Structure 1
Amino acid sequence: MALTIQKQVDMKVKPIKRHKAIQPLSREHHQGLLLSWKIRTGLSKGVSTDRIKTYADWFYKTYLIPHFEEEEKHLFPILGNDNILVKKAIAQHRRLDRLFHSTTELKKSLNHIEEELEQHIRFEERVLFNEIQKVANEQQLQFILEHHKETKFLENTTDRFWE
């Protein structure tokens, strides 16, 4: 018997049960999605790209660089550096790094950051983290628990351009 469209939709949006060792990294992803939203909102309101870029750079240095380093150091090795999903995530990290360091065509760079950061986070949450969680043993997950300190997000209120 064929599934109804609603049942198919319900199955696709089923919440992901994350192991407690990986939950802090998923919570950090939420802030990254908010960054994409803030950039998108600022651009749609015609806010100066310099203002948006200043905030994006602060966020990148304060939160994304340490987050990427944590994933690459403690999480990705569970699958191995030769794993195609890990290679894809690392390539996305590098691409985002280049976009954040871009100083020309700011509007274009910010548009790319907003789109690619969101796509990257969705990929990690829906695909990569699920695969890592499937193959990780309890010792590996315990190691992550012991070595990853969740970064408490403190908003930069200097310029709330998105409001």
Structure 2
Amino acid sequence: MKRHPALVPLSHEHHHNLSFAQRLRRACSDADAAGCEALIENFRQHYAAPLEQHFQLEETWLRPHLDEATSARLLAEHQELRALAAEPATNPASLAEALISHVRFEERELFPWLEQHLPPELLAELQEKLG
């Protein structure tokens, strides 16, 4: 699916996060303890900080344009993911599932809505800020 250029950087991050979450889900469900632990360490080193930055961008630049229900959902899912990311080894399967679900929500519902409802000048402004 072709994304508006304003959303492409976030969409690329979604792709990387989704791929990681699927690998984590597989490793942890296959009783591959070593693989699961390695992916959790990989998450701590390479995904946790960028994920928080990603959330901050969305909350700062996208959330003001959302209706109350969608805004509340976005914040609730971000908060859940922050809690799971703080202790990824505690429940890696929940982290994987929550991340997969959140990325799918944003890619399948949130981003198409933004592309359809935001005026072109606002999308251009977002592209400047997010790009």
Question: Does TM-score exceed 0.5, indicating one fold?
Answer: yes
Short-chain TM bin: 0.7 to 0.9
Q: How far off its partner does 1:30 sit?
A: 0.2
1:11-160 mapped onto 2 (5 Å cutoff)? 16-43=1-28, 44=30, 45-47=32-34, 49-80=36-67, 83-102=68-87, 106=89, 109-149=91-131
CA deviation profile, 1:38-59 (whole Å, cap 9, x unmatched): 2123322332654332211223
Aligned mates of 1:46, 1:123 — CA distance in 2: 29
Q: Name the Cα RMSD after superposition.
A: 1.9
> What's the TM-score once normalised by structure 1's chain length?
0.71
SS at match of 1:61: helix
Aligned mates of 1:48, 1:21 — CA distance in 2: 36
| Structure with bigger gyration radius | 1
Show structure 1 runs of 5+ residues with no match: 1-15, 150-163
2:63 is aligned with what amino acid?
F
Aligned mates of 1:137, 1:109 — CA distance in 2: 41
Moved more, 83-92 or 50-59: 50-59
> What's the TM-score once normalised by structure 2's chain length?
0.86
Q: How far off its partner does 1:73 sit?
A: 0.9
Show structure 2 runs of 5+ residues with no match: none
- The number of residue pairs the alignment matches comes to 129
2:78 is aligned with what amino acid?
H
Q: Which has the higher helix share?
A: 2
CA deviation profile, 1:30-87 (whole Å, cap 9, x unmatched): 001011022123322332654332211223333211111111111221225xx21121
